[in-house]
């Protein structure tokens, strides 16, 4: 740990010297002004949304059955514990349906996992559309928060940088770690709202659950002008081989945050295959990060006019499956519980049938 800290001292100094927050001109200034104006207005009590709904993006792959997509239930619990409900945004939805759901939710979380981050692949295409809609909404004064965790972090980095080769490999699977702050961390929106003890614990104890192969090297963000202009780097982390990567980012002009680490796992994933921190201080981190994101979503005023439509869209309409038991000896288990979703066309047919039944 002492060696890792020594390396970070040198790297943080170099990162600070880069002064990676250049002014890209009038367009960025206008965006920033709109964002700050909207943020300031939301201090009014009457603007607080007491029924926030978060969209969460699904993905293909294990543990979902063939032809289905899934969302790990830990992300849903993470949001529910902070006072939100969830509407799934399926990885095979067409752009027009993604946009429709965007207008019904108050924020979106892009979760961790493993997907191909290139155009033509559902998870990437849906997240790209969400990113585009998020920028457009905020540029027009419609405060809308977006957060990416692990794979979500990586996806936002690829999209914002416009570089599909910006990620590199790290030895950081199953590696609970402390976070090493840059000079932007303490006054950032993400960290400044956390209780001081929570912030201190994240920096001094291995409570940030890192569990990834791909990541964003700190040098890569410094070498990409587009990414430099979009994100502030808040924290760095070091893998087992001493390589440094970005672990927390916050957009400069938009309410967009990204953590390479998993805040949800501390409280809601219990596999023995991973060294997830479960002590009380680590659980508080889960709660406070969830509170931060959902409280941001409370500042958004999107709503679903018809309560029956709202109820039919919630994730509770889908099966919650226990996926925490290994199917065979030696199988690694990632998620205790998961929601499974049939192909979008089947989901659409069911939703349409419900609407027709109500209007009959």
Rounded distance, CA 157 to CA 265, Å? Answer: 22
Which pLDDT belongs to residue 330? Answer: 65
pLDDT band, residue 320 (cuts 50/70/90): very high
Exactly one of 68, 150, 212, 302 is catalytic; which is it?
150
Q: How many CB atoms lie within 10 A of CB 219?
A: 16
Which residues in 229-244 are b (16+ Cβ under 10 Å) and which e? bbbbbbbbbbbeeebb
The rounded mean pLDDT for the chain is: 90
Note the pTM of the prediction, 2 decimals: 0.89
Exactly one of 68, 147, 212, 262 is catalytic; which is it?
262
Active-site residue flag, 150? yes
pLDDT band, residue 260 (cuts 50/70/90): very high
Domain count, the chain: 1
Q: Which residues contact 136 (CB under 8 A, 6 or more apart)?
A: none
Whether 6 shows a pLDDT value over 80: the answer reads no
Task: State the DSSP code for 330.
Answer: T
Which pLDDT belongs to residue 47? Answer: 82
Which pLDDT belongs to residue 74? Answer: 98
Rounded distance, CA 233 to CA 12, Å? Answer: 11
CATH of the domain at 24: 3.40.50.880
Question: pLDDT tens for residues 327-343?
Answer: 776 677 889 999 999 99
Question: pLDDT tens for residues 139-185?
Answer: 999 999 999 999 999 999 999 999 999 999 999 999 999 999 999 99
Helix %, strand %, coil % for the chain, to 5? Answer: 40, 20, 40
Which pLDDT belongs to residue 212? Answer: 98
Distances (CA, A) of 173 to 85, 151, 209, 211, 239: 30, 13, 9, 4, 9
Which pLDDT belongs to residue 211? Answer: 98
pLDDT band, residue 271 (cuts 50/70/90): very high
Active-site residue flag, 121? no
Whether 27 shows a pLDDT value over 60: the answer reads no
Which pLDDT belongs to residue 324? Answer: 94
Range of the domain at 133: 2-359
């Amino acid at each position: 740990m002492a060696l890792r800290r020594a390396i970070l001292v040198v790297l943080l100094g170099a990162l600070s010297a880069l002064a990676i927050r250049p002014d890209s001109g009038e367009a960025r200034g206008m965006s920033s002004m709109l964002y700050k104006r909207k943020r300031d207005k939301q201090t009014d009590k009457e603007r607080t949304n007491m029924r926030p709904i978060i969209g969460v993006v699904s993905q293909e792959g294990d543990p979902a059955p063939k032809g289905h997509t899934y969302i790990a239930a830990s992300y849903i619990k993470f949001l529910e514990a902070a006072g939100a409900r969830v509407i799934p945004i399926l990885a095979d939805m067409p752009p027009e349906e993604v946009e429709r759901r965007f207008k019904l939710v108050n924020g979106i979380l892009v979760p961790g996992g493993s997907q191909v981050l290139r155009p033509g692949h559902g998870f990437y295409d849906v997240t790209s559309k969400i990113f585009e809609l998020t920028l457009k909404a905020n540029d027009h004064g419609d405060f809308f928060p977006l957060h990416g965790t692990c794979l979500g972090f990586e996806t936002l980095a690829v999209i914002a940088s416009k570089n599909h080769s910006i990620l590199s490999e790290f030895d950081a699977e199953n590696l609970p770690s402390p976070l090493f702050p840059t000079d932007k961390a303490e006054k950032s929106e993400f960290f400044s709202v956390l209780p001081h003890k929570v912030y201190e614990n994240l920096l001094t104890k291995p409570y940030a659950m890192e569990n990834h192969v791909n990541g964003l090297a700190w040098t890569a963000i410094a070498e990409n002008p587009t990414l430099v202009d979009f994100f502030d780097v808040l924290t760095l982390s070091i893998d087992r081989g001493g390589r440094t990567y970005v672990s927390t980012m916050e957009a400069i002009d938009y309410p967009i945050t990204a953590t390479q680490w998993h805040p949800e796992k501390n409280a809601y994933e219990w596999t023995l295959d991973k060294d997830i921190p479960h002590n009380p201080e680590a659980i508080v981190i889960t709660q406070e990060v969830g509170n931060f994101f959902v409280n941001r979503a409370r500042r958004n005023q999107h709503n679903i006019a018809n309560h029956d439509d709202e109820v039919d869209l919630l994730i509770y309409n889908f099966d919650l499956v226990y996926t925490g038991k290994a199917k065979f000896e030696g199988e690694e288990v990632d998620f205790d519980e998961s929601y499974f979703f049939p192909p979008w066309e089947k989901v659409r047919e069911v939703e349409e049938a419900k609407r027709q039944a109500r209007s009959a």
